[in-house]
Structure 1
Amino acid sequence: MDVAPVAAELGLGDRIRAFHGQAAAPTEAGPLLRTAFDLDAIAADYRAFLARWNDDGPAPADAHDDLGRQLLLHTDWLELVRRDPYLPAEHLPADWPAEEAERTFRTLSKRYEPGARHTAETLLDRWDPKD
């Protein structure tokens, strides 16, 4: 995929670094990627996210309403996905937890959104550009 047109269209051309790499024989891509990236640590981060945000359990105790839960959820998720190099699925273990974590994130985000919106509308002033 040519990244340049997409980056330019989004106005991100000066902020994106892209490269394409290919393992040369006798090196195989899978072992190379497992050496370059700590897959166990990345998977552990996803599992920790799932443990904290288990859809079946109560929300984290450090959030007292849906706005707080939504903010914490999004913060945790962004910290997690920014550390993930998004390696090709064929080089990841079969039990890779990222997909389950993303489902949990999306489910909870949707669940908290109405209450978070209500709380934000109650607490926050709105700026009207006409004023």
Structure 2
Amino acid sequence: MLCAAVLDGCASASRDAAFRNREVELFRARQDASVSCSSTVDCERAWARTRSFIKTHSASRIIRADDTVVETADPHSFGFVYLAATKSPIDDGNTLIQLRAMCRGMYDSDGNAALMYSTCAKSIVEVEGAFRAWMGPAR
């Protein structure tokens, strides 16, 4: 009985460490999923590329797109990435475009990893990593 409790405790600690490591990876990917631009022409081009990226990489269709926000609908199924982006001025006079990838079924109602966590986290890191490459020189 004691062996089972010890093994369960080790497995739980391992899961917790893996969760924390993945959360750090997600945080870094989210920070990297942004670009800045300075001129109106560059920002309009970057915003159009952002919308194109979202249309190409989201599991669901765009439901809102204006000069400051692009967002897609929540997917009907769990484990699929859907996207949103914002465009806003920053202190140095430039404009910041930030992508946010989300995945239905990633977290449960109290913020812990849900059944689709690993699948979702991997997909989000991949999509957010691809964003900067897609944007090209607009950084």
When the two structures are superposed, what TM-score results if normalisation uses the length of structure 2?
A: 0.25
More helix by share: 1
Larger-gyration structure (1/2): 1
When the two structures are superposed, what TM-score results if normalisation uses the length of structure 1?
A: 0.26
